[in-house]
Structure 1
Amino acid sequence: MTVTTATANRSRIKRTSAVSGSPGQNIDVRLVARTIAQAAMEVLAGTRPVQQLSRSLDPNTYLSLQHRAALTREHMKISRGRNPLHASPTVRSVRACNISELICEASIVVAEEQRTRAVAMRLERMDGTWRVTALEIG
């Protein structure tokens, strides 16, 4: 997002967004990104089965998330006395950038009880629905 302000006249503010297209389409992709990020964090917390994301993730991304969730469960077994790693994740903000009409990248900030994390994803429009082809959880 670019913000330009005139120094002499503060009331003149020009804002351009990196997300192009119709406003309805932009809201749609942001809501999809928010929902998938929230669900992915819940999968890592162990409160949601990874199978619920099978339609939203491509096969490689699905297997990656499944593997990371298994590793997280193993870590939680070892450190039983501690608080859960991903307790009550809440999405704080979502930013989206259209690369083309069919590809969008999103960055999401997710707050947990002990820390704040970043989630980045690449979404591609396939058969009229957005599908995550890359997912990085920091």
Structure 2
Amino acid sequence: MPDEDQQICAISRSTVQAAIEVLAGARAVQQLARRLDDRCLAALQHRAALTRRMPCGASPTAGRLHRNPSVHSVRACRVTADIYEASAVVVEESRVRAVALRLERSRLAWRVTVLEIG
């Protein structure tokens, strides 16, 4: 299903970009409420709050975390007809990170049920 694979990659790319922007403080976490399930949304909100509390002098790269994030690549793998797993590579100013997602089809749309940001 090439069309569905492309759709999943597009959803994954935009979700990952938005999640990294939430961590950077450039986007409100509630903008992802339709895409993430409640558990993922709460975890992302918690991580963003912890990131904002980290003092900039705590490490040499702390002030540059989550700057200029760009999703470099996305790969998706169909698990079942209603479940995909995807991975993305995000390039930031001072580091490269991996992101893993699990997307499940609900009655209305694809929702992210697992979001792991490395």
TM-score bracket, shorter-length normalisation: over 0.9
Q: 1:79 aligns with which of 56, 79, 93?
A: 56
Q: 1:133 aligns with which of 95, 113, 118?
A: 113
**Structure 1 length-normalised TM:** 0.80
Distance across 1 between alignment mates of 2:8 and 2:87: 12
Higher helix share: 2
| TM superposition shift of 1:83 | 2.9
Distance across 1 between alignment mates of 2:8 and 2:114: 15
Tell me, yes or no, if the aligned pair for 2:65 and 2:93 is still in contact at 8 Å.
no
Gaps of 5+ in 1: 1-21
3-state DSSP of counterpart to 2:43: helix
Gaps of 5+ in 2: none
**Structure 2 length-normalised TM:** 0.93
1:78-136, Cα deviation, whole Å (9 max, x unpaired) = 21696331001000100100000100000000000111000001000112411000010
Q: 2:97 aligns with which of 117, 127, 134?
A: 117
Distance across 1 between alignment mates of 2:9 and 2:107: 18
* TM superposition outliers: structure 1 runs of 4+ over 6 Å: none
1:20-99 equivalent positions in 2, closer than 5 A: 22-75=1-54, 78-79=55-56, 83-99=63-79
2:43 maps to amino acid: S
2:96 maps to amino acid: T
1:26-62, Cα deviation, whole Å (9 max, x unpaired) = 1000000000000000000000100000000000010
Distance across 2 between alignment mates of 1:129 and 1:54: 13
Q: 1:103 aligns with which of 68, 72, 83?
A: 83
Structure of higher CA gyration radius:
1
Distance across 2 between alignment mates of 1:30 and 1:54: 19
**CA RMSD between the two structures:** 1.3
3-state DSSP of counterpart to 1:83: helix
